[in-house]
Structure 1
Amino acid sequence: MKASISKSVVSGAIAAPPSKSYTIRALFAAALAEGVSRISNPLVADDTEAAAEVLAQLGAVIERQPGVWTVSGGHLKPPRQNLNCRQSAATLRFLAPVCAMLDGESRITFDPGLARRPMTPILEVFSQLSVESELTDTCLDIHGGGSRFQTGVVSLPGNISSQFISGLLLAAPLAPDGLNVRLTTPAESRDYLRMTVYCLRRFGIVVETAGNLTEFRVQHQAYQAADYTVEGDWSSASYFIGLGAIAGGLTVTGLNENSFQADRFMLNCLRRMGAGVNIAGDSVTVSPSPLRAVEIDLNEAIDLLPTVACLAAVAEGESAITGLERARLKESDRVSAVAGNLKRMGIEVVEEAGRMTVTGGTPRGAVIDSHDDHRIAMAFAMLAATCGDTVIEGAGCVAKTYPGFWQDFETAGGKVIISE
């Protein structure tokens, strides 16, 4: 699938899609709670569907209606069939600890693209718990048995992915004696851990934290069914917020300014670059203005790299974007993917291990390789609106987190033709 984009002027308002991160967390919590939970405003996308399907295989009953998913949970057990996480790293990393807590064997499968993303921390935790597991390129076998755990304390690094820690926190209440999770290195993406703790609290689970989120204590507890409303997704909104700054002005609704979502940092980025940003209730309105270069550390909001780099491409001066080491381990090596595509558009980029320097200029149309990475496709659609004559290959990858992206892009005034 290809998206051909012409130079565009945007205006009006777009509603932010629901948060992927909160939808998946709420699904897991609801599936672990005995009784009926209602998740309002869930994100319907490939990643959340993957989470819903594996939880249904474990025994949760999930009824999907427009705008609300009803989950009857509790009493999960390993299924006889494989649990397919597709391309969802969060589903894989949340599911594995849960399966370790269940008595019986689980086989978790996933698309080959996930094989390049780290899994070592959770395997080392399983070893500490005396849980047997075997990992291949597309399969993880887990011989669960929470009642046979040899310890109530586990340790793992905090600087590889917060998803490993979140997965352990989701599973910890099932451990007969609870679980203490200690980090051997400071946590990165701490806001995602705060999201998990907040979501667990909504379903009746208390997590005690210490040492600036370097230690988590979870007693054996029972999840409580709850009604939960998913807020708008700052990550998905970032492309339209950025679009408003460079292609005509735009309002994005349905956003919580006080969210735990790390990518609300997008507002800070735009203000530092000189864009006009106004917040009224749950709406963010961005007005275009000449952008200026910035030096910015994205370590705590790593998914913003493609968006910020594309904005830097039209900013005056040389922008330095740092804290990018983990961006190489996403759906693509996003540092190289972003740098390569910006160079195709005539933008000067210097790529280093965890740093990128972008010299702003006048992008020209080009053929963009999405690398089957949803965030690459959406960010370069934003930039393409400023110059036109651009084709984004593999444009269908947006379905991973934002199936309605191209329709919303058109609604905002973006000129795009979708073809096979």
Structure 2
Amino acid sequence: MELFLPHGPLGGRVASIASKSQLQRLLLCAALADRETVVHGASDAADVQAMCRCLRALGARVTADGKTLRVQPVTEQAHGAADCGESGATLRFLLPVAAALGRETTFRLHGRLPQRPLGPLWEALEAHGVRLSRPAPGELLCAGRLESGHFLLPGDVSSQFFSGLLFALPLLSGPSELRAATPPESAGYIAMTLAALRRFGIAAEPLPDGWAVPGGQRYRSPGAVRAEGDWSNAAFWLAAGALSRPVTVTGLQAESGQGDRVILEDLRRFGAEVEQNADAVTVRPAPLHGCSLDVRSTPDLAPPLALLAACAAGTTRITGAARLRYKESDRLASIAAALRALGADVRDLPDGLEIAGGRLTGGTVDACGDHRIAMLAAIASARCDVRLRGAECVEKSDPHFWQTLAGLRSGTEESR
């Protein structure tokens, strides 16, 4: 789908969507629990729907009821292949879980997912009793049963490898240790996993370089859980507030454990005006200036931060972003290409970008099948005309994105 987004101001109020990352974790815990769980904060994002499909394939029952999801735990009866769509988290979380349950499972992978890194997790699983193979293009077969023991993973590839094992290891009969060979990047996402586990009664004891996970644990449902507002998605709307007219995003918890809440600190470093209360944030435009940003722990913030950099006075360096080359697109290359297409001066770094701020002149952006590149281009329309190819990819995380953008173009409050 191609859209023309004429240059025009963006401003108003946005209700945050439920955190995609937190929902995926809560749904998985609920499917492993001892009784039904009601999950408040339903989402029709493609990644959340992928998790629901795959949990059903493993034998759970997941039904939508308005803005809630009811999850009946996994039974002995599996229901065919697990279609992960393009969701890396779904695959990396459920691969160890299926192995811990002893379920022979075929995972179906789409888009760039078959090419995204899996090697360290694959090797760790095969070293502990699991047999993995690729019987056909876009398929991954998991067989055997995961055995407890000592697991060692690199910390600089994907935090999702750690999360997947943290979900699976409590299900095993014996104790395990999960250690990081190097400090884990995106540590906030592992913290989100540990928080979800605690809500379902699962213990993982911290070690200097990892966790000790007792075996024989049972997931115990708290009855009902609620997903927070999504700081990763909100970052784009907050960036619009720094570039155009004031934007308020509601439903964002000030004390959230989501790492991407640091977008507020980053906005202040650029010079934007930020006001926060218990569950809402307002950002107002102000003269922006370049700065240096390390996104090692918050790589999903790189696209909106890069756009701010392109509109700020001076030069901005974004580093710690090498892992972005293995997202839905080579996201570093896609960010650079999008900004150059709009008239920005961008230089590639080994692990990031150097962006000389100035005036965007407009142009045509290819989303490269990456929802966060499409969102970057959409917010850029606050400063220039944008023609966007592949706009439909926003459905991966926010199917209502274009409706919300239209509300901000008219300056009205957008309800979800």
1:311 alignment partner, SS class: helix
Give the one of 264, 277, 280 matched to 1:280. Answer: 277
Q: Deviations over 1:89-117 (max 9, x none)?
A: 00000110011112242111110411221
Match in the other structure for 2:27: 27
Match in the other structure for 1:396: 392
Give the one of 331, 335, 338 matched to 2:332. Answer: 335
Distance 2:58 2:259 in 1: 30
| Pairwise CA distance, 1:78 | 4.3
Distance 2:103 2:226 in 1: 33
Give the one of 377, 380, 385 matched to 1:380. Answer: 377
Question: Which amino acid in structure 2 is aligned with residue 10 of structure 1?
Answer: L
Question: Which amino acid in structure 2 is aligned with residue 13 of structure 1?
Answer: R
Match in the other structure for 2:11: 11
Match in the other structure for 2:406: 410
Q: Deviations over 1:315-344 (max 9, x none)?
A: 000111101110111101111111111111
Give the one of 354, 366, 370 matched to 1:369. Answer: 366
| Pairwise CA distance, 1:173 | 1.3
Distance 2:110 2:361 in 1: 34
| Pairwise CA distance, 1:77 | 5.2
Residues 162-173 of structure 1 aligned to structure 2 (within 5 Å) = 162-173=159-170
8 Å Cα contact 2:81/2:106 also seen in 1: yes
Distance 1:101 1:231 in 2: 29
Q: Does structure 1 residue 201 correspond to structure 2 residue 198?
A: yes
Identical positions, percent: 37
Q: Does structure 1 residue 43 correspond to structure 2 residue 40?
A: no
Q: Which runs of 5+ in 1 are unaligned?
A: 416-420
Give the one of 170, 173, 184 matched to 1:176. Answer: 173
Q: Does structure 1 residue 191 correspond to structure 2 residue 159?
A: no
1:306 alignment partner, SS class: helix
Match in the other structure for 2:101: 102
8 Å Cα contact 1:45/1:401 also seen in 2: yes
Q: Which runs of 4+ in 1 moved over 4 A?
A: none
- Taking structure 1 as the reference length, the TM-score comes to 0.94
Distance 2:75 2:174 in 1: 18
Given the superposition, is the C-alpha separation of residues 182 and 251 from structure 1 closer, same or farther in structure 2, using an over 3 Å criterion? same
Given the superposition, is the C-alpha separation of residues 160 and 341 from structure 1 closer, same or farther in structure 2, using an over 3 Å criterion? same
Match in the other structure for 2:128: 129
Distance 2:64 2:179 in 1: 37
Distance 1:131 1:257 in 2: 41
Question: Which amino acid in structure 1 is aligned with residue 131 of structure 2?
Answer: E
Match in the other structure for 1:253: 250
Match in the other structure for 2:350: 353
Given the superposition, is the C-alpha separation of residues 155 and 414 from structure 1 closer, same or farther in structure 2, using an over 3 Å criterion? farther
Question: Which amino acid in structure 1 is aligned with residue 67 of structure 2?
Answer: G
2:409 alignment partner, SS class: coil
**Residues matched between the structures, number:** 409
1:241 alignment partner, SS class: helix
2:182 alignment partner, SS class: coil
8 Å Cα contact 1:32/1:76 also seen in 2: no
Match in the other structure for 1:217: 213
Residues 223-262 of structure 1 aligned to structure 2 (within 5 Å) = 223-226=219-222, 227-262=224-259
8 Å Cα contact 2:82/2:107 also seen in 1: yes
